Each structure stands twice: as C-alpha cells, then as structure tokens.
Amino acid sequence: MKFLIIGGSDAGIAAGLRAHELDPSCDITLVLADEFPNYSICGLPFYLSGETPDWHSLAHRTEFPGIALLPSHTAERIDPKMKTVQIRRKDGNEVELAYDKLLIGTGARPVRPSIEGFDLPGVFPLHTMEDSFAVHRFLDEHQPKSAVIVGAGYIGLEMADALSRRGIHVTIASRTERILATVDPSLGEHVEAEMQKHGVEVFNRVEISSIASSGEQLTVSGTSDFAATADLVLVAVGVKPNSELGVAAGIATGAKGALQVNRHMETNLPDVYAAGDCVETWHRLLNRNTYLPLGTTAHKQGRTAAENALGHTREFAGSLGTQVVKLFDIVAARTGLREDEALRAGFDPFTIETTVWDHKAYYPGARELRLRVTGDQQTGKLLGAQLLGHKQSEVSKRVDVFATALFHRMDVEELNELDLSYTPPLSSPWDPVQMAAQAWTRALSAAQSGSLQTV
C-alpha cells in the first residue's frame, strides 16, 4: 500500500512511524515543505534564550525507519479522483505522486494582523525553524537592547522570558484584559506580577495599529495612546490552519476554517485523512469539534489516522485542552473548561479558588500553590482546573491528575478517592489536588445553603 503523508511535523511523523510499526512493508512517503522533519516548534523560545544553544537538539528524532522523506517539497494540488498529488520540488520542477491512502498534516501558520509596518526589518513572527534562525541572526548581528512583543499567549510570554534572559528589556502589548488569557484573570494577574518582577513591562487592552522605523529603532503604536520604541519587534497573536490545500481538493471545513474530520480522522474525500493543527479537534467535554491546535493532540491524531489508513478501527479519544507553561520562576497550567466556557456549553458551573502548600509546611521550601476548580453544581462532575505555582511545585503533575480525572469523567468528589503519592518534601497526605476538591465541595454546600456566592 502507498501511504502518502503531506507535512513533516507532529501529526505527519507520528502517522508515518505508526504505519511502519503496523506494517513494515507499507510504502510510506512523507512530503515536507522545509528541511526540518519533526522539530519542536515549542522549543524555539529556549533556543533563542540560549538555554538550548544547539538548534539540532530540538529534533524530536533524527531517524525515521521505513519512511521516505522528501524535504523542501511542496504539495501543490490533490486530485482525489486520480488519487495523485502534484508536488513542486526544491529545484522548481513538478512531480506527481500516487497514493492509496493520503494524510494531510499541513499544520498552521501565524495570524498576520493588519499592522502597518509589519514587513519592516527587525519585525518578526515566530512559528517555524526559519523564523527562529532569522531572529537568532538579528540577535547576534544587532545586539538589541529592547524589544516589543505583540501578543501575550504562550509563545509571546515565553519569548519575553527568553529575551529577558539575554539582557533585553521587554515590553508586552496585549489586546486581552490580562496576559495569558487561557487562564482566568485572577491567575493572570499573578502571571503579570511575575513578568513585572523580572523587568517586563505589560500593557493590556491595547490593539497595535502600526510599526514605524526611525533609523535602527522601531516605534510601535496602538490604542489607549500606547507607544513604545524598541530595537526588535516580535508578533505572536495566534495561528490559523493551513487548510487551503485540502479545501482546493474538496474537503469541507469547520471551526476557524480548519478541515473537517470525523473521529477516525477521515475527511469527506475517500481514502483521505487529515490530522494536526490543520484540522478540527474533537473536544471530550464539549462532545463536538473545535479548533484546538496543540502538539500533543497532533501526535495522537496522526497515530489514529495511520491505524485507520492501514485498515484498523480506532477513534481519536478527544482533547481536553491541557496546557502548561513555565515563565521565569512560575508555572501556569489548565485543563478542561473555565467557568465562562462551561456556561456557554450549557453546564451549570461552580468555581472556587484556593491556595495550599505544595508540600508539608514543616519541610523547608514549601510554597503556595493556587488552584481553581470548576465543577457542575447539578451533577458534581469535574469540568476543569487551573493551577499556578512555583516551577518546583510539580504543577504539571497536578494538572495531569485533573486531566486524567476529566478524561474518565469523574466527579469532583471522586478525586478524594485517588491513591496519590505522598512524602513530606513533595506533597501532603491529602495532595493539593484533593484539598482543592474538598474546598470545592465545602464551598458548593455553603453556596447552596445561601451563605456563599460563586467566586
């Protein structure tokens, strides 16, 4: 069988490797538009900070058994009737590749906002390896002393950390109420305080309209009389799916223009699958598709697509949007739904926020860990959790406990039954996850008796 894969990042590589595992005789060809198969885009800020000095180490793997790689080849057209794909090679010539099964894993690209001066020297997006090389060259050649980052999501904030480590003064301009809008504002304000503690200036509710050049400096202007001058500007305001190739072939689209797939990762075209940041994602709590581009999700979707392409029957189990980010000395994480998202989805959410020690207070080094837990007050089902703590407080472990509970559709109260590990330097007999669950139950009981309002 000829299994043709378009896209060499998480979904495509995961699919190719799984297909080879299941059938070593499968003829697998992977077409990638650049020279960097399976490189960690999430690692780019750490390469630019100098924490990961060798970009080669960002490769998830360097060997791809059973996969014929075609780097610097661009898929131009898909003919679903003839089951062929027209490919443009690096030298500009075109070749035609046939397939029995096709997987589209073309990923996403940065949103390009309508900002005057976006193309000026010293203004960069950051999404690809080539983007990172361009920024790295600029840092080496120009030794900038100041930078403005437009956007306050994960990449923007990680780059604020990265550039600060290089001694660069950073200003963040965000159009949201608080930075890191994926968590509630009460946690976002603590993230903001951490950034400011490390010298990062933060401006919220600002829409950038223009970037102007004056000599080697750039002036960034926006609403609320915002104006900042810097040597370097990074624009990181989100991504959108690279779905055009599939759309031109006749694949239907859904949320945010992403390719529609079912839970087998099949498109509406026979023998054509799609996975990763170019497709919709089945949300396990919402029971519907949404657009939720995450590397962890892409790996799972690619694996699912490969199994089904080879004749197996497997469903993508769904995503919960579990995410975590380290910024200077803190870690913020979330999984499931915030209260506002749960309300829009038709749940009856109740949310509490509590602060507990990350381990027994008598053992040196105990630090406060903030947890927000959202559950449905009618059914008791866990709906989501958000956490903020020190980078040594095992925040990622605890959000993963919540994510596992959500995956298995547990009640908030059932968290107390989990057999979690304990030793005084790391936890307590009741883990912080369980203490937060107990706080939720107490608060809900009090609210239902009329003595407490939702917080």
Q: What digits encode the pLDDT tens for the residues 30-85? A: 999 999 998 998 999 999 999 999 999 998 888 899 999 999 999 999 999 999 99
Indicate the SS3 state at residue 451. Answer: coil
- Judge whether residue 455 has pLDDT over 60: no
pLDDT tens per residue, range 218-243 = 999 999 999 999 999 999 999 999 99
**Angstrom distance (rounded) from CA 73 to CA 88:** 6
pLDDT tens per residue, range 144-197 = 999 999 999 999 999 999 999 999 999 999 999 899 999 999 999 999 999 999
Tally of CA atoms within 13 A in the half-sphere of 366 that contains its CB: 16
149-181: burial string, b at 16+ Cβ within 10 Å, e else? bbbbbbbbbbbbbbbbbeebbbbbbbbbebbbb
**Domains located in the chain, CATH noted:** 2-35+59-109+240-309 (3.50.50.60), 123-235 (3.50.50.60), 323-448 (3.50.50.60)
In this prediction, residue 259 carries a pLDDT of 98
**What long-range pairs does 437-445 form, CB within 8 A, spacing at least 24?**
437/373, 437/412, 437/413, 439/352, 439/354, 439/373, 440/350, 440/352, 440/373, 440/375, 440/412, 441/412, 441/413, 443/350, 443/352, 444/350, 444/352, 444/375, 444/377
Overall pTM > 0.75: yes
**Angstrom distance (rounded) from CA 305 to CA 287:** 20
In this prediction, residue 214 carries a pLDDT of 87
**Res. 451 pLDDT band, cuts 50 70 90:** low
DSSP lists the bridge partners of residue 94 as 88
pLDDT tens per residue, range 245-279 = 999 999 999 999 999 999 999 999 999 999 999 99
In this prediction, residue 454 carries a pLDDT of 45
**Angstrom distance (rounded) from CA 438 to CA 356:** 12
- Judge whether residue 453 has pLDDT over 80: no
Element (H, E) at 48: helix 44-49
User: Please, what sign has the CA dihedral across residues 326, 329, 335, 338?
Assistant: negative
**Spatial contact of 282 and 258, defined as CB atoms under 8 Å apart:** no
